[in-house]
Amino acid sequence: MYAQALDQKDKAPSRIEDPVKLAAFEAHCAADDKIEPKDWMPEAYRRTLVRQVSQHAHSEVIGMQPEGNWVTRAPSLKRKAILISKIQDEAGHGLYLYSAAETLGVSREELNDQLLAGKAKYSSIFNYPTLTWADIGTIGWLVDGAAIMNQIPLCRTSFGPYSRAMIRICKEESFHQRQGYEAVMVLARGTPEQKAMAQDALNRWWWPCLMMFGPPDAVSEHSETSMRWRIKRFSNDALRQKFIDATVPQAHFLGLTIPDPDLRFNEASGHWEIGAIDWDEFKRVLAGEGPCNRQRMKVRRAAHENGAWVREAALAHAEKRARRKQAAALQAAE
């Protein structure tokens, strides 16, 4: 999902690496040993990870917006408390990931600037609107479900801090998916209007969720190196298929229809086969032309600007207290 960054072209000129160090590094990766921040690493490995981990972090942060849209309108106090907890988790996910990226020598401020300047990407999925309450359940079920598919193999990724962040995150994601599925289940078993609402949400989210896994393997440019360096462990198509096979029966259990007339079960392979994905839509959304791209960035920038005085005040307060402590210590010494 959030691994979409791995499919982007690396535009920076590649450095010529010391062949002895490079060979040792690659042997290390091949043996499934972890790479830690201070270890030697090829420049391209560092760059790929900074991009991948920071874009994953941006996705967690921007991902709070579509859900935040329903906090004040959740149908009950229970659902509201659950939704707030989930959103708070996503803020935490952003923080774990920014911290992991920072161990590679970039600052939080730099990463934040890249996002606010529109230079860094985040997952395409968060550029879709949450029109009804059913969207909130559907996001937990499908969006977090797709995230889990992607993030479980990332727990074993070669870069230590990223892997440790993913382990923490995966522990929390299971709650996200289950609360979402349960919320959809309540609607699917409710009045005809509620069931129609659940179906409508599935209709709108199904295809964008499949796009979360990134372009088909045939056109994905980065996979090979990322696989060799054990940053990524499964191909986009393999993960997408895993998600489809897991999710189709879950939809059927709810009595909902997957919005794909070509969907069929292949008895021989044991897999669900889908119709064609509209990759033009995916490209448009990534290029900034999704339904909510502009709004997401506007809200993010406003949140950052409106919080500036709080950060300034906190630093000024800390400085004042440190000064007073120093003065008191000096006085005591005299």
Partner 1 sequence: MSEAAMPLYEVFIRPKAGLSHKHVGSLHAADDDMALNMARDVYTRRAEGVSIWVVQSKLIAASDPVDKDMLFEPTASKVYRHPTFYDIPEEVGHM
Q: Write out the residues near Fe ion by the rule CB under 5 A.
A: 60, 90, 93, 144, 173, 176
DSSP designation for 13: P
| Sign of the C-alpha dihedral computed for residues 134, 135, 139 and 142 taken in this order | positive
The partner in contact with residue 144, picked from Fe ion, partner 1, none with C-beta cut-offs of 5 to 8 angstroms by kind, is: Fe ion
Please report how close the Cβ of residue 147 comes to partner 1 at its closest, in angstroms.
18
Of 7 and 90, CB closest to partner 1: 90
Tokens 């462990």 correspond to 233
Please report how close the Cβ of residue 126 comes to partner 1 at its closest, in angstroms.
21
Q: Is 36 in the site for partner 1 (CB under 8 A)?
A: yes
Q: Is 322 in the site for partner 1 (CB under 8 A)?
A: yes
For Cα atoms 63, 243, 187, give the angle at the middle one, nearest 5 degrees.
65
Distance CA 221, CA 8 (A): 7
The partner in contact with residue 326, picked from Fe ion, partner 1, none with C-beta cut-offs of 5 to 8 angstroms by kind, is: none
From residue 273 to residue 312, the character string flagging contacts with partner 1 as x (rule: CB under 8 A) and all else as - is -----------------------------------x--xx
Q: Is 168 in the site for partner 1 (CB under 8 A)?
A: yes
Distance CA 322, CA 276 (A): 62
Contact region with partner 1 (CB under 8 A), list: 3-11, 86-94, 144-152, 202-210: 86-94
Distance CA 306, CA 16 (A): 44
Please report how close the Cβ of residue 115 comes to partner 1 at its closest, in angstroms.
11
Please report how close the Cβ of residue 144 comes to partner 1 at its closest, in angstroms.
17
Contact region with partner 1 (CB under 8 A), list: 31-39, 183-191, 192-200, 238-246: 31-39
Dihedral of the alpha carbons of 120, 122, 128, 130, in degrees to the nearest 10:
-120
Q: Is 293 exposed, middle or buried (0-12, 13-18, 19+ CB in 10 A)?
A: buried
The partner in contact with residue 327, picked from Fe ion, partner 1, none with C-beta cut-offs of 5 to 8 angstroms by kind, is: none
Q: For residue 264, list its beta bridge partners.
A: 273
Distance CA 334, CA 331 (A): 5
Of 35 and 184, CB closest to Fe ion: 184
The partner in contact with residue 135, picked from partner 1, Fe ion, none with C-beta cut-offs of 5 to 8 angstroms by kind, is: none
180's CB contacts (< 8 A; 6+ apart) are 136, 137, 138, 139, 140, 141, 142, 144, 145
Residues near partner 1, by CB under 8 A: 36, 38-40, 85, 88-89, 92, 95-96, 99, 102, 107-110, 113, 116-117, 164-165, 168, 172, 308, 311-312, 314-315, 317-318, 321-322
